[in-house]
Every structure is written in C-alpha cells, then in structure tokens.
Amino acid sequence: MTATEIAAALGGAHRCCRCLVHGSRGATLALRNGEQELIAVCHAACSLTDILGKLRRTNLPADHDGRAARRIALAGQIRDRVQDAREKPMADYLAGRCITIDPPLGAA
C-alpha cells in the first residue's frame, strides 16, 4: 500500500492525513514511501514507532507485496537451524568465562 493510498484511507490526500496517535483533526501526518517501509512524520512530534504501531493495529499498511510473510518465513528458517548450545563451543565459551547460566537449547 503506498503512502498516498494510506493517506486516502485515513481521509487525507496527497500523502497527508490526520495522525491516529494524537487524534488530530487536521492533516498533521506526512507520509512517504521508503525503500524498506513507510516513512511517517507527525508535525505534532508523535514518534515513528507509535505511528507505525497504530497504523498496523488498524491494518494499514496492508502487506500486499508479501514482505512480512517473507520475513516471518526467514525467521522460521533461522529458528529451525538453531542448535543445542550445551554440546557446542558456546558451552566452552561460557564455562571459560565463569558464566554459570545454562546455554540456550536449540529448536526441538
């Protein structure tokens, strides 16, 4: 979903709309398409984290290009490759530094 489409969905135009975080009545939120994700600037100084979180909770921007699905699949692949550190160099590393916590377990 483009910045213009998100602004239109929020009742704005030309990539400007009301900010959902502080509940503005006017177009205080400026949106722009970034290379990785949406760029959002609130002229009332709401944080980017809060803005993107609020947009996601309202299902904006929708993941039409599948980037979120690819990130989730990649995270699953990484999780599946994790090995039990008790029998690996990690255990020796921790013991050599007198760290007495149990090393993490791999995926079962």
Dist. CA 23–CA 77, nearest whole Å: 40
pLDDT higher than threshold 90 for residue 21? yes
Dist. CA 96–CA 89, nearest whole Å: 10
Domain around 85:
67-96
Predicted structure pTM score: 0.54
Q: Are residues 73 and 92 in the same domain?
A: yes
Q: Please state the separation of Cα 91 from the chain's center in Å.
A: 32
Residue 8 included in any domain: yes
**Beta-bridge partner residues of 38:** 33
For residue 92, the surrounding DSSP H or E stretch is: helix 89-96
Domains: count for the chain: 2
Lowest mean pLDDT among 6-15, 71-80, 95-104: 95-104
